[in-house]
Amino acid sequence: MNKLVIIGNGFDLAHGLPTSYKDFILWYLKSQILKPDNDLVKFPEFNDRKKIYSLVDNVDNLDSFIIIFNEYGFKIEYKFEFFEHICKKSNKTWVDIENEYFLFLKGMCDNANEIINSSNNKVRRTEHLNLNRHSVSSLNKCLDLIKDKLANYLISLQENSNEVIVNENILAHFSNEIIERNTSNVYILNFNYTDITLKYVQRLNSGRIRLNYIHGKLNNPDNPLIFGYGDETDSYYEKIENLNDNEFTRHFKTFSYLNTDNYLNLFSFLNEDSFEVHIMGHSCGISDRVLFSNVFKHNKFRKIVLYYYQYGEKDCENDFFQKTQELSRHFDISSKHIMRSKVVPFAKSKPLTPYKPKP
């Protein structure tokens, strides 16, 4: 039996790396006080930037950051509507932000179709469509900038990741539950851009492990970062394609996957033998629906083991239930029974790491 291990952002977070969406947004906004680039936001000119920075240096949430700015009469000028929108979503995850991008895109698709269907004046229709296309280009430019800023942020974190040590509880999951006598090969599908997962591969030192940076790797031009949307099963996708404008589909993951052989390598592995899926720190959101649904529909797929996040002392204080809800969206109506029979129940599941009270 082979094992497919799916690694998500929660894996890096479990090691103390501040790689969440809210961590990134706070870092970027704080950085604009000392070294502004004016790409996504523009702050007013400060007489004493270090003094202003000291006001927000220890702030750990976006709402407090904005409140402090407002209290001192500072105004944040947002360069893109989309960035202003997601700055108000500080409680969201990276998957949620990818979904927000798609919602914006759907709105622009509706607008384009309305223009096409409502105007008999070809000149005016062309003008309106050009304006709409400019809006889509602006949205895509914003996402490109976010991806670039995120890469810079993660590179700065990775430079200090030598201090990150292998978690013995997670290592035990690999040693005791994944790499066992009945396991043929292990395939780690790493959705993170960082090298934390590589530390486990090196520590386990097994020739049966393969590691795939499916969404790209920092500082690796041959495996560029993938960030966008990946659910072409959405009913809106056909409407978007029918607009016959490549700008609308530029950030769909399908086309980014085609730049490397990572996707093909994954399914080559799945074709080798029967396999279990072990999920560590991944939300299983719908922005990767095509990939996940095809893994779970594979005729050699056998079961799913969820390593949940334990956020409190009580047994009920975990995200196992929410994770199963997310998983269910990757099984169509005719295969809901398959999900019920394949997911290992909570009573037989384990947290990724035990709960630790914050100091």
Whether residue 206 is found in the same domain as residue 322: yes
Pair of tokens at residue 76: 């944040």
For the chain, the C-alpha Rg in angstroms (whole number) is 22
In sequence order, which residues have a C-beta less than 8 Å from that of residue 28 and are 6 or more positions away? Answer: 40, 149, 153
- Is this prediction's pTM over 0.75? yes
Give the domain-ending residue among 39, 61, 90: 90
- Residue 279 burial by CB count (10 A; 0-12/13-18/19+): exposed, middle or buried? buried
Whether residue 120 is contained in a domain is answered as no
Whether residue 312 is contained in a domain is answered as yes
Whether residue 98 is contained in a domain is answered as no
Read off the pLDDT of residues 169-228 as tens digits, 9 standing for 90 and up.
Answer: 999 999 999 987 777 899 999 999 999 999 999 999 888 999 999 999 999 999 999 999
Q: How many separate domains does the chain show?
A: 2
Average pLDDT over residues 37-58: 90
Read off the pLDDT of residues 123-176 as tens digits, 9 standing for 90 and up.
Answer: 455 555 666 678 899 999 999 999 999 999 999 998 876 778 899 999 999 999
Alpha carbon distance 257, 237 (integer Å): 17
Give the domain-ending residue among 90, 123, 139: 90
Average pLDDT over residues 70-75: 83
Give the domain-ending residue among 65, 90, 115: 90
Whether residue 13 is contained in a domain is answered as yes
Whether residue 275 is contained in a domain is answered as yes
Q: Please determine, for residue 17, whether its predicted confidence score (pLDDT) is greater than 90.
A: yes
Whether residue 57 is found in the same domain as residue 13: no
Whether residue 44 is found in the same domain as residue 189: no
Whether residue 50 is found in the same domain as residue 7: no
Query: Residue 276: which pLDDT band, with cuts at 50, 70 and 90?
Result: very high
Whether residue 8 is found in the same domain as residue 30: no
Query: Which carries the bigger pLDDT value, residue 148 or residue 359?
Result: 148
Q: Please determine, for residue 262, whether its predicted confidence score (pLDDT) is greater than 80.
A: yes
Identify the domain containing residue 208 by its residue range: 2-18+161-351
Whether residue 202 is found in the same domain as residue 66: no
